[in-house]
């Protein structure tokens, strides 16, 4: 895990500025504090802030090929680089390092963009071809690692984080009303859109080539689900064994590092399974990390203790108080660079801080299991509502929904009539391609009523725009596959792997690795029949069968507890100065994003009741995080940063290259 930046100019009027590039590295140095390097010629400058994990002694970036016609900076890991390197050596390539970065460069030299099909990894890549004068940017299949860019007159600027791009004086931070509409529908703006006007994000599974004549963006991979009834026929035993083998090998590859590797351990099935697989490869002590909550409604300490005792890990834990969430949110928003509708990223930020304090740079985690193996309550909800829709007058069928959301107070307190009214909206419209998610999206979209007239786009429907992207792909899929495709596309990449993943880990110089997101596991899970992923209402059925006898039954059979964190008490029980300021009528008017009346009404509700509903909680953190974003990036963004040092610089002169500094 590293950070990369770059500037490209065809006009000659804005030749790459070493000072700017060094400041860009300064603002993302948390992503890679170990080493800094730049490549600069008369058209392109690009740099790397490196978190040294593989090849600690000779893997410094930028790296070039043998004749120095290709240069690369790279964020991420190629886990199968050992095998690829051996093949390239057999074909005559000469290596000057032991790094995975150089493997990328040589395979690109041989195959061009088709090299991406051979990588098992998580990556954001920038390669400059000095002969063809072509910049190549690429992002991994599932969007684990980010890359942002902004088109400039006869040029382009890119970086691992938006704050690096905003350092260019030609850029001005302005919130995008369309991105806010998406955020207040799907929980995040969807690439290529970002929350800032004029700045885009390369979509997962895409690459971009930039030449003097323009930009070309190409999709090289997409998630595939077979049509309903055409899934791969497989017995339960065979599927469980294959899943175990794939996950074991995915874990083995993700243990490749020249530094110590740890693991998150929440006490749930997914993280415990991965930690168990790690122990098979590392019989010596494994360091595991978890977070506990002072608020018992969110705490999983009981299962964490059970899992660590069973696995015999060296376990470290941090506790999160409600007040910690209120105190740390401004730091988190600086790193997420996007509004959030849940406070869940905050404890994850504190957890990665604990990891770094224990001198661990790499952790394996269980992300991806719920999405691809049928673990989310929204999948169960979809199944129940479709069953209910076959007899919409039934008073018994909707009662199956009772146990899905015991943690949402207004659902559990409202009684059966409320349950039927809430989940009965659009009940019989089962032929709609987004049936599984429309109720959630429509409910979240009510937050757009808080926006001011300048930011409220009544004629724009984010759902229509997103569904148009699928171009008929949803039709013909099983209901579960439809729901999975929607969840992965609109939630996992955009929010879970970003605000709750890469951004809060990289803030503390920690790299996350995700065996469930190995593309082989993902493609295998996509081919499985729905009944192997969800048996009745038993989530992740095949994973549980695979884990039987491998993990304690208390872990395998436990009811899934969604990861959540406190909201209103963290901000309103004992108001902090920044909260009072940003939510005051003056603060709301200063940003101009929200209408003061609805915000004041929301706060009066808390004063009257002392608590919030689920929707009101989301509205509170959505408004507050947007206000923080505006305060940090639009009103008070500081371009006067020191230049990073020491930095290793390669400058291209007339027919030669020379290294300077560092």
Q: Are strands 155-159 and 148-152 parallel, antiparallel or unpaired?
A: antiparallel
Q: Are strands 148-152 and 121-129 parallel, antiparallel or unpaired?
A: unpaired
Q: How confident is the model at residue 416 (pLDDT cuts 50, 70, 90)?
A: confident
- Check whether 657 has a pLDDT greater than 60: no
Please give the helix or strand (H or E) that residue 415 lies within, else none: helix 415-423
CATH topology agreement for domains 3-222+645-660 and 236-367+497-556: no
First to last CA, the chain: 21
Domain range summary for the chain, segments of one domain joined by +: 3-222+645-660, 236-367+497-556, 377-486, 568-635
Q: Are 135 and 209 in contact (CB under 8 A)?
A: yes
Q: Are 451 and 595 in contact (CB under 8 A)?
A: yes
Q: pLDDT tens digit string along 362-388?
A: 999 999 999 999 999 999 999 999 999
**What's the mean per-residue pLDDT of the chain?**
93
- Check whether 410 has a pLDDT greater than 70: no
Q: What does the pLDDT read at residue 120? A: 98
Residue 398 Cα to chain centre, angstroms = 34
Tell me which residue of 234, 185, 295, 168 sits closest to 565, measured CA to CA.
Answer: 295
Q: pLDDT tens digit string along 100-154?
A: 999 999 999 999 999 999 999 999 999 999 999 999 999 999 999 999 999 999 9
148: β partners: 159, 201
Residue 352 Cα to chain centre, angstroms = 15
Q: What does the pLDDT read at residue 654? A: 37
**Catalytic site includes residue 2:** yes
Domain 236-367+497-556 has CATH 3.40.50.620: yes
What is the value of pTM for the model shown?
Answer: 0.95
Annotate 377-400 with b (16+ C-beta within 10 A) or e (fewer): bbbbbbbbbeebbeeeeeeebbeb
Task: Tell me which of 2, 7, 320, 650 is the catalytic residue.
Answer: 2
- Check whether 661 has a pLDDT greater than 50: no
Q: What does the pLDDT read at residue 655? A: 40
Q: How confident is the model at residue 411 (pLDDT cuts 50, 70, 90)?
A: low
Cβ neighbours of 111 (radius 10 Å): 12
Q: Across residues 582-607, what is the average pLDDT?
A: 96
Dihedrals phi, psi of 189, to nearest 5 degrees: -70, 145
Domain 3-222+645-660 has CATH 3.40.50.300: no
Q: How confident is the model at residue 419 (pLDDT cuts 50, 70, 90)?
A: confident
């Amino acid at each position: 895990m590293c950070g990369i930046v770059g500037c490209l100019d065809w006009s000659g009027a804005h030749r790459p500025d070493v000072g700017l590039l060094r400041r860009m590295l300064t603002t993302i140095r948390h992503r890679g504090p170990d080493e800094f390097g730049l490549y600069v010629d008369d058209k392109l400058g690009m740099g790397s802030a490196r978190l040294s994990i593989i090849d600690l002694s000779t893997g410094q970036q930028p790296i070039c090929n043998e004749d120095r016609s290709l240069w690369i900076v790279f964020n991420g890991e190629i886990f199968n680089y050992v095998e690829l390197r051996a093949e390239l050596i057999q074909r005559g390539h000469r290596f000057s390092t032991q790094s995975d970065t150089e493997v990328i460069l040589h395979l690109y030299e041989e195959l061009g963009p088709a090299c991406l099909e051979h990588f098992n990894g998580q990556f954001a890549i920038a390669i400059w071809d000095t002969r063809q004068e072509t910049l190549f940017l690429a992002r991994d299949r599932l969007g684990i690692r980010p890359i942002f860019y902004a088109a400039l007159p006869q040029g382009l600027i890119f970086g691992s984080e938006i704050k690096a791009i905003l350092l260019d004086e030609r850029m001005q931070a302005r919130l995008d009303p369309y991105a806010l509409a998406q955020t207040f529908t799907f929980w995040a703006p969807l690439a290529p859109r970002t929350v800032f006007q004029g700045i885009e994000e390369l979509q997962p599974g895409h690459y971009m080539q930039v030449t003097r004549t323009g930009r070309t963006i190409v999709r090289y991979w997409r998630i595939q689900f077979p049509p309903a009834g055409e899934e791969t026929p497989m017995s339960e035993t065979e599927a469980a064994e294959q899943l175990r083998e794939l996950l074991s090998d995915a874990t083995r590859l993700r243990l490749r590092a020249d530094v110590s590797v740890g693991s998150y351990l929440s006490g749930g099935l997914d993280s415990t399974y991965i930690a168990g697989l790690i122990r098979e490869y590392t019989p010596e002590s494994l360091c595991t990390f978890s977070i506990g909550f002072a608020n018992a409604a969110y705490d999983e300490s009981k299962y964490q203790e059970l899992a660590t005792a069973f696995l015999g890990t060296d376990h470290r834990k941090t506790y999160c108080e409600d007040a910690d969430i209120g105190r740390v949110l401004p730091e988190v928003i600086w790193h997420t660079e996007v509004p959030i509708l849940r406070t869940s990223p905050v404890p994850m930020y504190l957890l990665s801080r604990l990891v770094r304090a224990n001198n661990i740079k790499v952790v394996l985690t269980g992300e991806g299991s719920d999405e691809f193996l049928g673990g989310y309550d929204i999948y169960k909800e979809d199944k129940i509502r479709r069953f209910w829709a076959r007899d919409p007058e039934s008073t018994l069928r909707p009662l199956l929904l009772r146990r899905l959301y015991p943690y949402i107070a207004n659902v559990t307190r409202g009684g059966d009539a409320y349950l039927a009214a809430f989940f009965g909206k659009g009940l019989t419209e089962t032929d709609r391609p987004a049936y599984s998610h429309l109720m959630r999206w429509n409910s979240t979209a009510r937050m757009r009523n808080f926006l001011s007239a300048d930011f409220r786009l009544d004629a724009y429907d984010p759902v229509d725009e997103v569904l148009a992207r699928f171009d008929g792909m949803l039709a013909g899929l099983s209901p579960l596959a439809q729901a999975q495709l929607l969840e992965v596309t609109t939630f996992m990449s955009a929010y879970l792997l970003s605000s709750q993943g890469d951004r809060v880990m990289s803030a503390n110089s920690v790299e996350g690795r995700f065996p469930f997101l190995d593309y082989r596991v993902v493609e295998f899970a996509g081919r499985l029949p729905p009944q192997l992923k969800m048996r009745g209402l038993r989530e992740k059925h095949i994973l549980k069968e695979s884990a039987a006898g491998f993990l304690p039954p208390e872990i395998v059979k436990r009811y899934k507890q969604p990861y959540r964190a406190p909201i209103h008490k963290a901000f309103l029980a004992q108001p902090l100065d920044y909260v009072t300021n940003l939510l005051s009528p003056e603060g709301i008017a200063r940003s101009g994003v929200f209408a003061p009346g609805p915000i004041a009404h929301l706060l009066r509700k808390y004063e009257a009741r002392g608590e919030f509903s689920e929707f009101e909680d989301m509205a509170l953190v959505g408004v507050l995080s947007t206000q923080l974003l505006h305060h940090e990036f639009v009103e008070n963004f500081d371009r006067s940063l020191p230049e990073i040092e020491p930095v290793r610089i390669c400058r291209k002169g007339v027919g030669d290259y020379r290294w300077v500094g560092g």
